[in-house]
């Protein structure tokens, strides 16, 4: 899965990008308390473990 697709999934769930430093983007949700960091360039493939961890942090599992 590409990083761009992960970011699209976060945005579809109302996550907003609040900061970026290099290739790391941080997202915050207006209701959920956690922040989620997405590493890598937009065109990179994201490792499956990183992808699952992002989904867990964003409470998007299921």
- pTM comes to 0.89
Does some domain include residue 43? yes
How far apart CA 30 and CA 45 sit, in angstroms, is: 28
Residue 31 has what pLDDT?
Answer: 96
List the CATH number of the domain containing 45: 3.30.920.30
The number of domains in the chain is 1
Q: What is the mean pLDDT of the chain?
A: 94
For the stretch 29-46, pLDDT in tens is 999 999 999 998 888 999
Copy the structure tokens of residue 50. 């990183």
């Amino acid at each position: 899965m590409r990083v761009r697709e992960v970011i699209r999934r976060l945005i579809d769930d109302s996550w907003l990008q609040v900061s970026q430093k290099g290739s790391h983007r941080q997202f915050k949700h207006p209701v959920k308390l956690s922040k989620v960091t997405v590493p890598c360039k937009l065109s990179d493939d994201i490792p499956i473990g990183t992808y699952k961890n992002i989904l867990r942090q964003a409470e998007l599992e299921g």
